Amino acid sequence: MGSTAVERAGFRQQEQQIMKILFATSEVHPLVKTGGLGDVSASLPAALHRLGHDVKLVLPAYRRVLDRVGSVKIVARIGLPGIPEPGRIMATQMPGSGVPLWLVDAPSLYDRAGGPYTDPAGHDWPDNALRFASFARAVVELATDRANQDWKADVVHCNDWQTGLVSALLSRESSHPATVFTIHNMAYQGVFPPETFDALHLPKDLWSPEGLEFYGDLSFIKGGIAYADRITTVSPTYAKEIQQPEFGYGLEGLLSHRAEHLTGILNGVDYQTWDPAHDPLIPHHYTPEALEGKSANKRALQQRLGLPERPEVPLLGVIGRLVDQKGIDLIVDALPELLKREVQVIVLGTGDKKLETLLQAAADRHGEQLGVHIGYDETLAHWVEAGTDIFLMPSRFEPCGLNQIYSLRYGTLPVVRGTGGLADTVIDANQENLQQKSATGFVFQQATTDALVSALGRALQLFRDRTSWEQMMRTAMAEDLSWERSAARYIALYEAAATKNPNQASRYPAVAPL
């Protein structure tokens, strides 16, 4: 176990006991992924496993998961109200990390084409409430060892609305593990009509304004927020933002009420995958001490996107969902002014069809300055991080964000709006930070085109000062935002939750402050 990471979390290695952690999630990369939750669900349990803890993942047995996971073993059968067949628990391991994985198999709920939440046409499955209520019930059976696996969790770590009922159901158990509920994005809440509550055969005492009722409807995410022992979200700034009406989506009052139990812990990144020193997907490797490979990657990227090879021109990159939340409309509006300057821009992503069309039309008109790839390509994403000079991420809100963290490691200085995890990970290149050599990017506050253009202007001006620019690159590349660091903080949180849980307090009598 790495003592340095543990000490950073605020407690000593010898005080730590091995914990049994059940990590409940609705997606995990590479088996099934729609967004950042899938990355976190792969990386955090793997980091906890490396730190020596007894962690198990539990996931619905979607068709695409069974197609990708390889061999499985049926280890239990459980009753799930509202479906024609008994549920089955399958056991296997996560590819790569070896973390034990339980799959909740109920073919009428999960064996279907499409995604984990939507049908092949992109519409929400009409029975999503039943699908994830059944998943929550299975998690409870596993956590309490009523599935007869000779394993009982110390902590159940739930994630987003799809697991929101787990904490609510466990709260009614006479003896139950501590619960932690992580909010990855408050914009998705799992709200259903009130009649759904009775249709799911949920305990009557859970229906109240203090429980699952949300302005007359049933809210899955409220179950996690109201009943979990500890609540986390994926950055310290986002933990503050969701207590305000703009970001709380009607639950800001409850989150403020539970602020004592709400913690923001930054997501980490997997530097085994995202590091230019050994990234297998990029043409040329480089380090802070030997940056030549960065220029070679820039040339390769310009060639691949059909842009003129101009090493002296700053190359700007955009990767992600092409939606207003990510500020892509601000980038589109800024293009006429931006393309008057000596710059090149590369956009990789998919999303809103209107934004896709506008970007493609701009690329058709400005083919020597703008390259657009509609869709997603993992290899090209690595090329963009390694080959661009500046990364654009002007999000209207961003619970954590990962691409700006990848960009730091690749020496691709990010231009970001100061919200959520972007504010927590990028240090603005103001005069004081430049003098102290702590700056790692460019931060602006207002979600406007003018503010974005102004921040880009600062970046383009500094780009001409190669000494200062390369100093910033090296500072950014030295940042440690690894999962080991984040995982150590989660362990401290788990122990704190266990000390407040009367069923676990005797096992964890002393925990240092977070």
pLDDT for 263: 97
Q: Is residue 191 part of a domain?
A: yes
> Is 339 found in the same domain as 246?
no
Residues 445 and 325 in one domain: yes
Length of the chain as a residue count:
514
pLDDT of residue 36: 84
Nearest residue to 142 (alpha-carbon basis) of 86, 83, 75: 75
Spell out a b/e string for 383-394, using b for 16 or more CB atoms within 10 Å of the CB, else e. Answer: bbbbbbbbbbbb
| 452, containing H or E segment | helix 449-463
Q: Is 303 left (phi over 0), alpha (psi -120 to 50) or beta?
A: alpha
Structural domain span for residue 202: 3-268+483-500
pLDDT at 174: 87
Q: Are residues 202 and 329 in the same domain?
A: no
Domain CATH number, residue 216: 3.40.50.2000
Nearest to 496 by CA among 507, 486, 481: 507
Q: Do both 162 and 97 map to the same domain?
A: yes
Domain annotation covers residue 386 = yes
Per-residue pLDDT at 501: 65
What's the whole-number average pLDDT of the chain?
A: 93
For residue 277, being part of any structural domain is answered with no
pLDDT in tens, 92-105: 999 989 999 999 99
Token reading at 171:
């709260």
Identify which of 405, 400, 493 has the alpha carbon closest to the alpha carbon of residue 9.
493
Whether 278 is covered by a domain: the verdict is no
Structure tokens at 201: 């055969």
Residue in the structure block whose two tokens are 């207590």: 243
Q: Examine the domain organization and report whether 201 and 307 are in the same domain.
A: no
302 and 222 in one domain? no
Residues of the chain with pLDDT under 70: 1-16, 500-514
If you ran DSSP here, which 8-state letter would residue 125 be given?
P
Whether residue 307 sits in one domain with residue 251: no
Question: Is position 238 within any domain?
Answer: yes
User: Same domain, yes or no, for 103 and 79?
Assistant: yes
In this prediction, residue 15 carries a pLDDT of 53
Does residue 371 form part of some domain? Answer: yes
Query: 475: exposed, middle or buried (C-beta count within 10 Å: 0-12, 13-18, 19+)?
Result: buried
Same domain, 22 and 131: yes
Pairing verdict, β 315-322 and 390-393: parallel
In a domain, 275, yes or no: no
Q: Which amino acid is residue 288, in one-letter code?
A: P
The encoded tokens of residue 63 equal 């068709």
Strand 54-60 with 100-105, pairing: parallel
What pLDDT score was predicted for residue 289?
Answer: 95
Same domain, 126 and 251: yes
pLDDT confidence of residue 16: 59
User: What is d(CA 122, CA 313) in angstroms, rounded to the nearest whole number?
Assistant: 40
33 annotated ligand binder: yes
Q: Do 237 and 397 meet the contact criterion of CB atoms below 8 Å apart?
A: no
Residue 279 burial (CB count, 10 A)? 22
Mark whether 341 and 212 lie in a shared domain.
Answer: no
Q: Give the Å distances, CA to CA, from 413 to 74, 191, 403.
A: 49, 39, 11
Asked if the structure places residue 468 within a domain, the reply is: yes
Are the C-beta atoms of 491 and 48 separated by less than 8 Å?
A: yes
Q: How many domains does the chain have?
A: 2
Residue 337 to residues 126, 150, 309, 430, 456: CA-CA distances in angstroms? 45, 64, 22, 23, 11
Residue 226 shares a structural domain with residue 308: no
Residue 504 neighbours by CB under 8 Å, 6+ apart: 154, 155, 177, 178, 497, 498
Strand partners, 318: 347
Looking at residue 63, its pLDDT comes to 96
pLDDT tens digits for range 215-271: 999 999 999 999 999 999 999 999 999 999 999 999 999 999 999 999 999 999 989
